[in-house]
Structure 1
Amino acid sequence: MRIRLLRVLALGVVSLAVASCSQTRAPVAIATHADDYGTPVGDQKVQQGGDLVMGLSNDPDRLDPTTSSSLYTRYVMSTICEKLYDNDASGNLVPQLATELPRFSEDGLTVTIPVRTGVTFADGTPFNAAAVQTSLRRHLGMEGSQRSGELGPIAEVETDGPAQVLIRYRTPFAPITAALADRAGMIMSPTALKEEGSDFGDHPVCVGPFKFAQRTPQTSIVVERDPLYYDAQNVHFDTITYRIMADPKARTAAMHTGAIQVADTMSPQDADALSTDPRLHLLVSGSFGYQGFYLNLGNVDGAGKPAKQIDTPLARDPRIRLALSLSIDRQALVDKAFKGWYESACTAIAPLTSYATRAATACPVFDPERSRRLLAEAGVQTPYPITMQVMNVADQLEYAQVLRAGVAAGGFDLRIVPTEYSAMLDAQKRGTYEALLLGWSGRLDPDGNIARFLVTGSSGNYTGYSSSALDDVLSWAAHTTSPARRGALYEQAVATIERDNPYIYTYRLRNLTVHSTRVTGIEVYADGAVRLGKAAFVSERNS
């Protein structure tokens, strides 16, 4: 399947947003390997029961939808914590705990969301509009929330009876449905929230095909089938165990031996062999996300806190950051490090969306000579040293070494510090880094890929970057009802980001998830989440 053009909310109408700008559409990179998002169980004959084991490539942070910033938390939460909306394999927004897409008032300031009735949380608490109100208010107001900026300028969340939620806005916010198709739309049991408070992530309770059972830090997370789930007849496994396996070689070996039945984020180094093993099936999908590295410009007291100027040439002088970007041969690095499985990327605008114009996706010209001239103009020593924290896994370290060799030609000395994933997330939030090689799994709407990270004061602004010009452009892009106008504004946003380079985009991965042919119903979409909730072992009569 191909990802359809990104659908964008415009005052309640989910419409195809074709950016009719002056720029021509960017040529979209054609993947060497065909997309395969998986298929639902459907009418296949499957076994009832059984225990699935998934090799998870990193230990998630706390299982709290409000405070989590880890992709791997999304994998686990997708089985235990449904959202108001979801996206499907074609890139469409579809209701999940809501019953239909939102209705917008004529002025765009009131958003009405009808929600399911007759549904209960895993602890037996009724699911209703009041429960949705409680979760959304927590996302907005809880200290340390990573969701507040994703929901836009909300004035109040109200209920209209047990089956309708009203979101009142100060100004219209076009990306709200896309935001509610991710962690901001995950609804938590009000009873559990009251009992657990800030410790909710240790014992999360939501609506989902499975419910949380136990967690052994750095080892495993176990979820078990929830008999109270409203669609329990289509849930097949008894339990799912997420086994933490950071080493991609170990995950590959465990897949070949059958010790695990599914694994995420497979290494491009192993993908060819996995794709030809008749006992395994490799799912391959494009991504709305991007990979690259943060440069700390002003995150001194923690993300979301007022920025303070860091007194280094890299943080003070945009010429040095531009030089660093110009010294990266993005396509050559991808080809060398990832064997053609991934794609180069230069902006937060994903290909195969309606915003993928040439201006919104074009890469800076690889120009190490200009890089050296810019460093000379800035009056800094060369090679200019930069300390970069890199996830302590083989693929990331290999890419970092290739990157290090590449930027040396532009006058940089990249000093690589291998770091555990959980420590990187902590450094990202606290600002205890100079450069940090870490990406984003991506969202349907560009606002979720840009504003969260670069708007002044956002809880996800990990670089401490502040630009009133970018703030204004992104605000207009979020509030306008015109898809064409939004497209033009995102082109302006890209130009501003490429001038200041608080984050340098380098490549876009393709989701590589492998599962045993004994299992069916596993799906992975462009949002990067591995969906296991309705999967099952294939019936022995079919095997």
Structure 2
Amino acid sequence: MGALRALPLPLSLPAPAPSHRPSRRRIAAAASLIAALLLPLLAGCQPRRPAGLLILAGKSRIDSLDPAAASRVGVLQVLSALGDPLYAISSEGRLEPRLATALPQLSADGLRARIPLRAGVRFHDGTPFDAAALVFSLERFMAIGTLGYQLSDRVKRVRATGPLEIELELRQPFSPLPRLLSAIFLTPVSPSAYRAHQGKPLAERFVGTGPYRLASTSGQQLRLLPWSGYWGRRPRNSGLVIVSLSNSTALYGALRSGEIDLLLSSGLEIDHQQALHREARAGRLHEAVGPSLNIGLLSLRSDQPPLQDRRLRLALAHSLDRRTISERVSLGVRPPLRQLVPPGLPGSDPAAWPAYDPARARSLFRQAGYCEGKPLNLPLTFRSDIPSDRLFALTWQAQVRRDLGDCLQLEVSGMESTTAYDQLGKGTLPLFFYDWSGDYPDAENFLVPLLGCEKAEGDRCLKGNAALSGSFWSAPGLEQLLIRSSSLEGPEREGLLRQIQRRTAAASPYLPVWLMAPVAWARPSLAPPRFDGAGWLVLADLHSQSHSGGSRR
């Protein structure tokens, strides 16, 4: 796409006047109009729902329910209700066995992990869950999974050592193993249902062990009903209808009008999120905020001119006014971030990256031969299908023009997400803004996907995650530090993780920008919702204030 013009902002970058954004009344009116037009299509053709059946909605598209093909947030959220992982992370952050009955038992060298499995569990089609079924699922995931590398990079082999016990042979000691095994994409599937799809995804249905079974699918609408044979606590509602709509205004209006019971924040416009937050503060909605496990960041192509020059990367780091950008783009919803590891996780280092300092940025640009009639012209690409990405790019462009206009000119353009990610790994994007969401809450799942490198020459990554993530940066000994950090525990591991962050920040091949958390808003007729420690809304706990749905065991 062609370059976009800078935002027409005054040089002082004041807070936007009320006319710059839609008023609360305009948002509500537009939402009501679009909801009136679109939502009869959503609800009009549905039979009257029984008591306790709840309607949930979000913007994330649900294109496949096969864990092997799952990567979208909306799909993984649905799988959290249809399936069970080996372990789960509670809202308080505790690791709890689910389909496993205890934590992995490690061999003396840390290369073998035995896991005992729960007895009496059945899949939704009646097939017994046992070690053979889990081996089938894990091997299938490693072979064809979109995120299969998450397991295959750490696990060499899976085998059954008894009817209800498996052994994982690890490539090297891996202390975050239980947290990795809590990832919802590792939920087992029925060998009876998936045998014919061992080498290819099965998109249109799901047969797992979770508290709900998939009753029906229709376009972007799913119907989930409690699984009567579930081994654990029964859901507190009589079922769920999960709807995906692409229009943020319609989703906002649907919650306000009562057409839906609960709305997820993923993909919603910032204005709508802020309006719903105000509704919750006024007591008209329930609001639940999950753990912040999603970061927005810039990748810098660090192995090619001009950003091969470390001084220019550090100058960009000092040019980034995160606080102003957060307030202007996200209305403060997304707090500034100066590290790659979300706060609260072991290894967090809140001040690792250089702070906003335009004078220092100017000095570095001058050292590299720029400023005073010779600005650095740098292409900045954002994902064109993510509205907040465009606002970020234009706001930073305007801020740089104000502070460093004679040193740096950002040439802003958009690219559709799928195309952009493909180009990112090919090294065609010198500066790209995107986000990374951890699949499980551990620092390793943020550092290794961005910094891991299988083959390097000096500071250049020729093959590995750092290349796929767009920076193509490495450093002598960094891969060994990453591997070692995954074999340690406790304070020694935390110290090494902070060391890795500081070393990366000193080179700045990535620039963390802000932190994101999942949010859900529910009608006041529902009990307040909650998220688990992995960032998934606990769907089985949703219930009316006056009706608790299914029974408990």
Structure 2 counterparts to residues 291-302 of structure 1, below 5 A? 291-296=296-301
Amino acid at match of 2:359: E
Partner amino acid, structure 2, of 1:320: L
Is the aligned partner of 1:439 residue 2:424? no
Match of 1:192 in 2: 193
Structure 2 gaps of 5+ residues are 1-48, 455-463
- The reply to whether residue 327 of structure 1 matches residue 324 of structure 2 is no
Greater Rg, structure 1 or structure 2?
2
CA-to-aligned-CA distance 1:254-293 (integer Å, 9 cap, x gap): 2110122111126343244221354410112441332223
Partner of 2:445 in structure 1?
448
CA shift, 1:454, in A, is 2.1
**Aligned-partner Cα distance in 2 for 1:50–1:429:** 47
Q: How far apart, CA to CA, are the structure 1 residues paired with 2:441 and 2:186? A: 14
Partner of 2:459: none
Change (3 A) 1:220 1:96: same
Assess if the C-alpha contact under 8 Å between 1:78 and 1:529 holds in 2. Answer: yes
Report the CA distance between 1:168 and its aligned residue. 1.7
1:355 aligned onto 2:356: no
Alignment deviations for residues 163-219 of structure 1 (CA, whole Å, 9 cap, x no partner): 1111122421101111111145322222333222322234333221223455566x4
- Change beyond 3 A, Cα 1:53–1:415: farther
Mapping of residues 80-91 of structure 1, within 5 Å: 80-91=82-93
Contact between 1:343 and 1:508, CA under 8 Å: does it hold in 2? Answer: yes
Counterparts of 2:548 and 2:191, CA distance in 1 = 44
2:117 partner letter: V
CA shift digits 1:356-415 (9 cap, x unpaired): 356xx4341212233344344445762422231235344443333322222333444444
Structure 1 residues 233 and 55: alpha-carbon distance in aligned structure 2, compared to 1, 3 A threshold: closer
Q: Which residue of 1 aligns with 2:486?
A: 478
Within 2, Cα distance between the matches of 1:221 and 1:391?
A: 28
2:485 is the counterpart of 1:495: no
Aligned runs of 1:114-513 on 2, under 5 Å? 114-142=116-144, 145-150=146-151, 152-183=153-184, 185-196=186-197, 197-213=199-215, 219-231=220-232, 233-234=234-235, 236-247=237-248, 249-265=249-265, 267=270, 268-296=273-301, 311-314=304-307, 316-357=308-349, 361-379=351-369, 382-390=375-383, 392-408=385-401, 409-410=403-404, 411-418=407-414, 433-442=429-438, 443-457=440-454, 458=464, 461-463=468-470, 465-467=472-474, 468-480=476-488, 482-513=489-520
Give the Cα separation in 1 of the matches to 2:377 and 2:283. Answer: 49
Aligned 1:17-36 pairs, distance under 5 A: none
SS at match of 1:319: helix
Structure 1 CA distance, aligned partners of 2:63 and 2:238?
25
Counterpart Cα distance in 1 of 2:490 and 2:291: 23
- Taking the aligned partners of 1:320 and 1:146, their CA distance within structure 2 comes to 34
- The two structures have a TM-score, normalised by structure 2, of 0.77
In structure 1, what is the Cα distance between the partners aligned to 2:229 and 2:470? Answer: 43
Counterpart Cα distance in 2 of 1:198 and 1:541: 39
| Among 541, 545, 549, the residue aligned to 1:538 | 545
Query: By how many angstroms is 1:151 displaced?
Result: 5.9
Deviation, 1:452, is 2.4
Q: Does the Cα contact within 8 Å between 1:388 and 1:437 map onto a contact in 2?
A: yes
Residue in structure 2 matched with residue 9 of structure 1 by the alignment: none
Contact 2:346 2:442 in 1 (8 A): no
On the 8 A contact 1:49/1:238 being kept in 2, the answer is no
Compared with structure 1, are the counterparts of its residues 70 and 537 closer, same or farther at alpha carbon in structure 2 (3 Å cutoff)? Answer: same
| Alignment correspondent of 1:31 | none
Alignment deviations for residues 402-449 of structure 1 (CA, whole Å, 9 cap, x no partner) = 222223334444444455556556666776654443223333221112
Q: Counterparts of 1:477 and 1:377 in 2: how far apart (Å)?
A: 36
CA distance in 2, matches of 1:72, 1:320: 38
**SS of residue matched to 1:439:** strand
Aligned partner of 2:535 among 520, 525, 528: 528
* Aligned residue identity for 2:274: Q
Structure 1 unaligned residues grouped into runs of 5+ = 1-46, 298-308
How far did residue 451 of structure 1 move?
A: 0.8
1:297-336 superposed Cα distances (whole Å, 9 cap, x missing partner)? 6xxxxxxxxxxx6x5523x344333322221011232233
> How many residue pairs are counted as aligned between the two chains?
477
Q: CA deviation at 1:119?
A: 1.4
CA shift at 1:102, angstroms? 1.7
Paired AA for residue 504 in structure 2: I
* Structure 1 Cα separation of the partners of residues 244 and 503 of structure 2: 42
- The TM-score normalised by the length of structure 1 is 0.78
**Cα pair distance change 1:529/1:431, threshold 3 Å:** farther
C-alpha separation between the residues in 2 aligned to 1:353 and 1:215? 37
Counterpart CA distance in 1 for 2:298 and 2:67 is 24
Within the candidate set 100, 103, 106, 1:104 is matched to 106
Contact 1:294 1:502 in 2 (8 A): yes
After superposition, what is the alpha-carbon deviation per residue over 1:37-71, rounded to whole angstroms, capped at 9, x for unaligned? xxxxxxxxxx9854322221322454343343332
Query: Percent same amino acid among aligned pairs?
Result: 24
State how far apart, in whole Å, the 1-side matches of 2:108 and 2:211 are.
Answer: 37
RMSD: 3.1
What is the deviation of 1:91? 0.9
| Counterpart residue number, 2:461 | none
CA distance 1:191–1:246, shift in 2 (3 Å): farther
Distance of aligned partners of 1:426 and 1:541 in 2 relative to their CA distance in 1, 3 Å threshold: same
Change (3 A) 1:535 1:388: same
CA contact (8 A) 1:385 1:413 kept: yes
Aligned counterparts of 1:182 and 1:509: Cα–Cα separation in 2: 19
Q: Distance in 2 between matches of 1:367 and 1:533?
A: 48
CA 1:146–1:465 in 2, change beyond 3 Å: closer, same or farther?
farther
Equivalent position of 1:24 in the other structure: none
- Between 1 and 2, higher relative CO (CA 8 Å, sep ≥ 6) is seen in 1
In structure 1, distance between residues paired with 2:171 and 2:542: 42
